[in-house]
Structure 1
């Protein structure tokens, strides 16, 4: 297993994984990811914020990081943090605890970048997902009703999100 930044050559596969994830979300939840703009993904790649796990030279999982997330984390955004978004797993690699691998990587990444927290959110009150993220080492901080979603992807409109974090030792 290897973790690397995604490249522009990965865009088609990233969108394929997003479609698979969104189709799955539609079978389980009322809120699901919208279709993301290709320019958004291209910008994340250019800014070295789009990541992938490679297993046997195949993309097993993708996700995005940022160091700022003020609309979701509001006053807590002032804390030095790494924020993880849009984890999408290739179905050929499900069941391999890839979120656990991302979590371990994110803690090292946070330390390398002098950040104190690794944070994530998910839309809604999904108890199964909350339990899973807790098993991966995240503390569930509770639910937060978003106030300003201008410019965020549409699944955040009028949303309540579950907030998660891991404190790392600097």
Structure 2
């Protein structure tokens, strides 16, 4: 298992995994479904070394994005020194391997190497299964919050409140 930055050549696979994740969310009917993300968003993350991939036998098993700034979602708490994780999408051929736990361990080291004090993530709505999954991976569930503004956020943030999670290092 290897974690590396995604490259422009990974774009088709990243978007394939996003579509699979959206279809899975649609099938569950209890969660907010991801929209089609803008290609420019992911291209920018790749160019800024903020889009990641977990490789198993040279195949992309999982992807996610990071940022050090997430003011729209975290509002006043954004002033903290944080690594934020977004859009974890798993290749179905590798599902069930608890990649969130691997991402958490990687993110803790990544955060420390960038002098950050927290690792945080969010999800839309009251997805009890995902809340429990993130808690099991070591995140503290901070609660469900209504955002003051969703301007500038992907479309799915308009469909409900956010569940916020953090790990204090």
Give the Å deviation of 1:86. 0.1
User: What do the CA deviations read for 1:43-99 (whole angstroms, capped 9, x no partner)?
Assistant: 110000000000000000000000010011000000000000000000011111111
Match of 2:7 in 1: 7
Distance in 1 of aligned mates of 2:159 and 2:128: 20
Contact (CA 8 Å) 1:145, 1:158: kept in 2 or not?
A: no
- So what's the TM-score if we normalise by structure 2? 0.97
- Paired residue secondary structure (1:149): coil
Structure 1 window deviating more from structure 2 (93-102 vs 28-37): it is: 28-37
TM-align CA RMSD: 0.8
Gap regions ≥5 residues in structure 2: none
TM-score by length of 1: 0.97
Q: For each residue in 1:19-66, what CA deviation from the matched residue of structure 2 results, as whole angstroms up to 9, or x when unmatched?
A: 000000111135211101111111110000000000000000000000
> SS of the counterpart of 1:157?
helix
CA separation in 1, counterparts of 2:84 and 2:122? 9
- Bigger mean CA offset, 80-89 vs 28-37: 28-37
Q: Is the 8 A contact 1:140 1:163 kept in 2?
A: yes
SS state at 2:36 partner: coil
| Aligned residue pairs, count | 168
Residue aligning to 1:113 = 114
Write the distance in 2 (CA, Å) between the matches of 1:120 and 1:63: 11
SS of the counterpart of 2:145? strand
Q: CA deviation at 1:147?
A: 1.3
SS in 1 for 2:15: helix
Q: Distance in 2 between matches of 1:31 and 1:136?
A: 21
- Aligned residue for 1:77, secondary structure, equals helix
Instruction: Give the Cα–Cα distance (whole angstroms) in 1 for the partners of residues 110 and 119 of structure 2.
Output: 9
